[in-house]
Amino acid sequence: MTGQLWGVGLGPGDPELVTVKAARLIGAADVIAFHSARHGRSIARSVAAPYLRDGQIEEHLVYPLTTETTDHPGGYQGAMDEFYAECAARLAAHLDAGRDVVVLAEGDPLFYGSYMHMHKRLADRYPCEVVPGVTSVSAAAAVLGRPLCERDEVLTVLPGTLPPDVLAERLRNTDAAAVMKLGRTFGNVREAFELAGRADEAWYVERATTSEQRIAPLSEVDPDAVPYFSLALLPSPINNTSFSAPAVQTAREGSVTVVGLGPAGPEWMTPEVRAAIAGADDLIGYGPYVDRLPDRARQRKHGSDNRVESERAAFALDLARKGSAVVVVSSGDPGVFAMASAVTEVASEPEYADIAVQVLPGMTAAQAVASRVGAPLGHDYCVLSLSDRLKPWEVIAQRLTAAAAADLAIAIYNPASKSRTWQVAATRDLLLEHRSADTPVVVGRNVGGSAETVTVTTLGSLDPDTVDMRCLLLIGSSQTRTVSRPAGPLVFTPRRYPGNSEPG
């Protein structure tokens, strides 16, 4: 008869969170095995201490290394494999002698735990049972007072040892997350949250449920003071705006939030917008814009054609009236030739008077294109759209002429499309009546995207055939200058206008 092997989970650190079964088995075992680093202090043993009894054999399994280098011929992995094989042999000797062995494990034995290495080497040779424990993830959520997941949200558990770009991609595409194994990886982990645009939602929890417990926003943590036994937590985005949000919700009022995604990828999006999107039930917008957002199991996406703005607005408000938290997405800023106007216009109708409507700004395409070349919009400027779908060309022409006569720099949206092929040339000719041919012009296409191009030319040399719907034009004023430099041209409009000595 051999002894029984037990993998016993101790929970996150508070001895009172050890299960009744775990406490009973610890007290009854002939042999208690536990791991530690070379300093000899075992967290597992300290948690189990109230349940130990005199006369038990203790097997102290000391790691040969943790983060150090090694001259082992098999490298780090070879050294650890040899260590686990030696530990398994030590425990097998007790089992062969008929002694019951309990291997202690912080948290849960099969959740990033060292016990699993004994399990893989011994469970097929001896009677074995695993006793689950409360994980550090559950403990962190409990002490933080935040739900991990609600309804059909997705929780992702990640090791902090992954590269920052891999972590960031996982964090972008989940509702909630826990990142384990911090310590020396903390800098990379925080970088990943920042790359994913979710750093403002994340919390840091250290040694949860113990007397040394510490909680802080992830962004405020000193990387040099982070122990291994800590984690980064991205709680459920539902009601994630208040630290003391009630655990149970009653009747819920719907709302519509119109947001700007910025001109390109997630790095152009504000934390405020990201939080609103994360907390939404329904996402509504032009199909390609909605597709830019990660899929979340609990959220519904409603993409539509770009020519049904009023219908889209009414649909959003109707969903909100049924209690849904709706986010309407626009590229750039929602108030610049985008959905904020459509939603607020429809929301002004009496039937929607009780629906809360909020608009959250985003970076505009004009700002993005300008930033690529310097500061062409550094002084007074105006913004115009060449699209004549919602206003006649005569109005557009009048406004172009007025802006040119006023010597304003001009940001031109929607310059051309498949069905509008002549407006760019007409605009150029109108402006040349008031501007010199060498007026700087910036043509930005797909700025922020993988196919970005930015061209600096002049008004006289502007080729309309190079401009399409993906472009935005910046036309300088009489004061706008282009300076040639090895790294590329620099375009700027001085704040000081002729006749004034100081900007103000």
Q: Which sign, positive or negative, has the C-alpha torsion 239, 240, 242, 244?
A: positive
- Could you tell me if 454 and 373 are in contact, meaning their C-beta atoms sit under 8 angstroms apart? yes
Q: Calculate the alpha carbon distances from 324 to 37, 129, 368 in Å.
A: 51, 46, 33
Asked if domains 255-360 and 366-492 share a fold, the reply is no
Residue 483 clears pLDDT 50, i.e. is over it: yes
Residue-level pLDDT at 244: 40
Predicted pLDDT at 245? 35
Of 166-180, 240-254, 313-327, 392-406, which gets the smallest average pLDDT? 240-254
3-state secondary structure 257-325: EEEECECCCHHHCCHHHHHHHHCCCEEEEEHHHHHCCCCCCCCEEEEECCCCHHHHHHHHHHHHHCCCE
Q: 233 near 202, Cβ under 8 Å? A: yes
What is the distance of C-alpha 278 from the center of its chain? 9
User: Tell me, what's the pLDDT at 297?
Assistant: 65
* 421 — pLDDT class (breaks 50, 70, 90): confident
> What integer best gives the mean pLDDT of the chain?
90
Residue with tokens 């000081």: 496
Q: Who's near 114: CB < 8 A, 6+ residues apart?
A: 35, 61, 105
What pLDDT is stored for residue 504 in this prediction?
55
Lowest-pLDDT range, 148-157, 198-207, 289-298?
289-298
Q: Name 211's Cβ contacts closer than 8 Å, sequence gap at least 6.
A: none
């557009």: which residue's tokens? 396
Q: Regarding the domain delimited by 366-492, which CATH topology (the fold level of the hierarchy) does it fall under?
A: 3.30.950
pLDDT score of 246: 33
Has domain 255-360 been given CATH number 3.40.50.720? no
The backbone torsions φ and ψ at residue 273, rounded to the nearest 5 degrees and listed phi first, read -65, -40
Neighbours of 89 (CB within 10 A): 11
Domain ranges of the chain: 5-133, 137-234, 255-360, 366-492
- Name the 3-class secondary structure at 95: helix
Topology annotation, domain 5-133? Cobalt-precorrin-4 Transmethylase; domain 1 (3.40.1010)
Residue 340 CA to residue 145 CA, distance in Å, equals 35
Instruction: Give per-residue pLDDT as tens, 433-482.
Output: 999 999 999 999 989 888 889 999 999 999 999 998 889 999 999 999 99
State yes or no: pLDDT of 248 exceeds 60: no
Q: Say which residue the tokens 């012009």 belong to.
A: 441
CATH class of segment(s) 137-234: alpha beta
In this structure, of 66-75, 162-171, 403-412, the range with the lowest mean pLDDT score is 66-75
Q: In the structure, what pLDDT confidence band is assigned to residue 268 with cuts at 50, 70 and 90?
A: confident
Q: Encode pLDDT of 65-80 as tens digits.
A: 876 778 888 888 888 9
Q: Which pLDDT does position 241 carry in this prediction? A: 46
The pLDDT value recorded for residue 215 is 92
The pLDDT of 228-251, averaged and rounded, is 62
